A and B are shown apart, each in its own frame.
Chain A
Amino acid sequence: SAVISQKPSRDICQRGTSLTIQCQVDSQVTMMFWYRQQPGQSLTLIATANQGSEATYESGFVIDKFPISRPNLTFSTLTVSNMSPEDSSIYLCSVRPGRPLLTDTQYFGPGTRLTVL
């Protein structure tokens, strides 16, 4: 499996500001994803972070609000822009390993707990 770390683990932010969340993997992975989990709720996919190209966003999520970077095969960032209290959630990075595992399995990071005041 892949070992995934996220920074920060939690943060409290003021509305109108932006926060960038980092996701680091201990090995090269083919696919990286960003999910949002609102308090007591299930996980919703925000976007697929594509290495060397623009992220692919799911319905309801836009690049201006959630810009994503993926400069290489082990690292990605998600920025939550112009935050409002409705953005208070846990943000999770997940990865799908590439070779040699070649599995559909996704592994999740520990998450970043964001509170917007």
Chain B
Amino acid sequence: QQQVKQSPQSLIVQKGGISIINCAYENTAFDYFPWYQQFPGKGPALLIAIRPDVSEKKEGRFTISFNKSAKQFSLHIMDSQPGDSATYFCAASIETSGSRLTFGEGTQLTVNP
């Protein structure tokens, strides 16, 4: 059972554009939602994370929007740059159940110069 569904699978954006990646979850017990960025040959690196008590969190060019009633959250990358080209994973966990992360399928982002 895929508990976190991510879309799109791949995304191509022009430099300076906005990249939007969406995730939907099923388990309402999830209480922590991080996004990870992974470059080829590297481990995932935490980008930004949110808890369900807020609807939006912004860090620099990266924003998470969270819709608890719809069980959806999304990552927005403003002013996308070629250096942002990577694979992005959303994830979810339950703090009181050992913080085990359930990952989405991943989105391969390409930002063209």
Given contacts A42-B103, A42-B104, contact A110 B43 (CB under 8 A): yes
A111 touches B34 (CB 8 A): no
* Partner pick for B46 among A43, A48, A106, CB 8 A cutoff: A106
A104 touches B32 (CB 8 A): yes
B100 touches A45 (CB 8 A): yes
Q: Contact size class for A?
A: 20 to 34
B43 touches A56 (CB 8 A): no
**Residue B18 interfacial (CB < 8 Å):** no
**Residue B44 interfacial (CB < 8 Å):** yes
B101 touches A106 (CB 8 A): yes
B34 touches A105 (CB 8 A): yes
| Inter-chain contacts of A31 with B (CB < 8 A) | 98-99
**Residue A68 interfacial (CB < 8 Å):** no
A104 touches B95 (CB 8 A): yes
| Inter-chain contacts of A104 with B (CB < 8 A) | 32, 34, 49, 93, 95, 99
A96 touches B105 (CB 8 A): no
Given contacts A43-B103, A45-B101, contact A108 B45 (CB under 8 A): yes
* Partner pick for A48 among B89, B98, B104, CB 8 A cutoff: B98
A-B contacts, 21 of them at CB < 8 A, read A33-B101, A41-B106, A42-B104, A42-B106, A43-B44, A43-B89, A43-B103, A45-B102, A56-B98, A92-B43, A92-B44, A94-B43, A94-B101, A96-B99, A104-B34, A104-B49, A104-B99, A107-B46, A108-B43, A108-B45, A110-B43
**Which residues of B line the A interface, CB within 8 A?**
32, 34, 36, 41-46, 49, 89, 93, 95, 98-106
**Which residues of A line the B interface, CB within 8 A?**
4, 31, 33, 41-45, 48, 56, 58, 92, 94, 96, 104-111, 113
